[in-house]
């Protein structure tokens, strides 16, 4: 069985200017993707069926199932009647640790908080990011302007999120898209890990709002600066502060707002107005 395509063309009836016409539109595919370890299901996510190797690796790293690629012994992508299974095999030590963790799970979990067995774990503070990266307002503006060009699937559909990684001197190095914002970030994490690119060297860019689990994932990646086009939640802000992540949000063509650890952002040429 073949994998579904990331987007498809469908018929629609368009209503414009009080007139109806027959039209076509490209829309993104949404598929149930099961992430399994040693044949036991850990989570099922609704995702865009693209960059699935990156998704498997990035999800495993960001959720703490593995700490390095070497702990993932095998990965098989299996197309099924009702979705896709990312069938992963863990090294013995990681498999034992995951089994102990799974014994405490009571049932399915919500978006972005997979496999959490307690409030303490769901509200965990990630390791502190201590990278010395310093960026300018011009760096942030250039990174944001590069996003639309790289969002090929969103240009087709206008309906997917993106997560990008940008380095000074290199520009936008990697970008992944998905109908789910968490999935896009996990795919990016996987792409960076598989490409041996440490996130500590640059900025993570999000086209979505910033909730706590997005900050937790960015901190798990070791990225010092997170830039998002929308505002953060209050919990995301507190988590970024505790995790040492510079949180830049409401980032648009005309500027941005820095909420945490502002020392990493050089405001060149900016005048302060009381």
Helices (H) and strands (E) in the chain, counts: 8, 14
Residue 108 has what pLDDT? Answer: 35
Does residue 113 or residue 179 have the better pLDDT? 179
Res 118: pLDDT: 57
Beta-sheet strand order (sheet of 72-80) = 40-47, 31-37, 83-90, 72-80
Cβ atoms of 72 and 197 within 8 Å: the answer is no
Which architecture, in CATH terms, is 31-122? Roll (3.10)
- 48 touches 6 (CB < 8 A): yes
Catalytic residue ranges: 111
Q: What percent of the chain has pLDDT over 70?
A: 88
What's the average model confidence in pLDDT over 6-12? 97
Q: Is the pLDDT of residue 105 over 50?
A: no
Rounded distance, CA 102 to CA 121, Å? 13
pTM: predicted TM-score of the whole model, two decimal places? 0.91
Q: Model confidence over 249-271: pLDDT tens digits?
A: 999 989 999 999 999 999 865 55
Q: What is the pLDDT of residues 110-152, one digit of tens each?
A: 344 554 555 666 666 678 999 999 999 999 999 999 999 999 9
- State the average pLDDT over residues 181-189: 97
Name the architecture of domain 135-266: 3-Layer(aba) Sandwich (3.40)
* Cα 89 to Cα 147: distance, rounded to the nearest angstrom: 34
Q: Indicate the pLDDT class of residue 50, thresholds 50, 70 and 90.
A: very high
Residue 99 has pLDDT above 80, yes or no: no
pLDDT tens per residue, range 70-79: 999 999 999 9
Q: What is the pLDDT of residues 203-254, one digit of tens each?
A: 999 999 999 999 999 999 999 999 999 999 999 999 999 999 999 999 998 9
Cβ-in-10-Å burial (0-12, 13-18, 19+) of 101 comes to middle
CA distances from 230 to 188, 207, 210 (A): 19, 7, 7
pLDDT of 127 = 83
Kindly indicate the confidence band of residue 88, based on its pLDDT and cuts at 50, 70 and 90.
Answer: very high
Cα–Cα dist 32/59, whole Å = 15
Compute the average pLDDT of residues 75-84.
97
pLDDT of residue 103: 46
Q: How far apart are CA 75 and CA 96, in angstroms?
A: 18
167 contacts 202 by C-beta, under 8 angstroms:
yes
Strands 171-178 and 225-228 come out as unpaired
At 95, the pLDDT band (50, 70, 90 cuts) reads confident
pLDDT the model gives residue 126: 77
Number of Cβ within a 10 Å radius of residue 197: 16
pLDDT given for residue 94 in this prediction? 85
Domain borders along the chain are 31-122, 135-266
Q: What is the mean pLDDT of residues 48-75?
A: 96
User: What is the pLDDT averaged over residues 187-212?
Assistant: 97
Mean residue pLDDT of the chain comes to 90
What is the pLDDT, as a whole number, of residue 267?
81
Mean pLDDT of 42-55: 97
């Amino acid at each position: 069985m073949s994998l579904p395509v990331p987007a498809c063309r469908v018929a629609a009836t368009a209503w414009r200017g009080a007139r109806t016409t027959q039209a076509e539109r490209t829309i993104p595919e949404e598929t149930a993707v099961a992430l399994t370890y040693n044949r036991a299901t850990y989570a099922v996510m609704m995702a865009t069926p693209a960059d699935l190797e990156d998704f498997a690796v990035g999800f495993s790293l960001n959720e703490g199932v593995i700490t390095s690629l070497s702990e993932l012994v095998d990965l098989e992508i299996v197309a099924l009647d009702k979705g896709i299974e990312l069938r992963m095999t863990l090294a013995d030590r990681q498999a034992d640790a995951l089994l102990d963790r799974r014994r405490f799970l009571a049932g399915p979990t919500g978006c972005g908080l997979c496999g959490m067995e307690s409030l303490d774990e769901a509200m965990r503070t990630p390791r502190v990011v201590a990278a010395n990266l310093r960026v300018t307002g011009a760096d942030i503006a250039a990174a944001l302007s590069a996003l639309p060009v790289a969002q090929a699937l969103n240009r087709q559909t206008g309906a997917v999120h993106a997560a990008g990684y940008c380095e000074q001197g290199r520009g936008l190095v990697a970008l992944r898209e998905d109908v789910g914002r968490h999935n896009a970030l996990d795919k990016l994490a996987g792409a960076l890990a598989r490409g041996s690119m440490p996130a500590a060297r640059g900025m993570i860019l999000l086209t979505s709002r910033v909730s706590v689990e997005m900050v937790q994932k960015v901190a798990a990646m070791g990225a010092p600066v997170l830039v998002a086009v929308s505002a953060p939640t209050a919990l995301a802000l507190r988590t970024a502060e505790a995790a040492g992540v510079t949180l830049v949000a409401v980032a648009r063509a005309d500027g941005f707002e820095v909420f945490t650890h502002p020392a990493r952002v050089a405001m060149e040429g900016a005048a302060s107005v009381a």
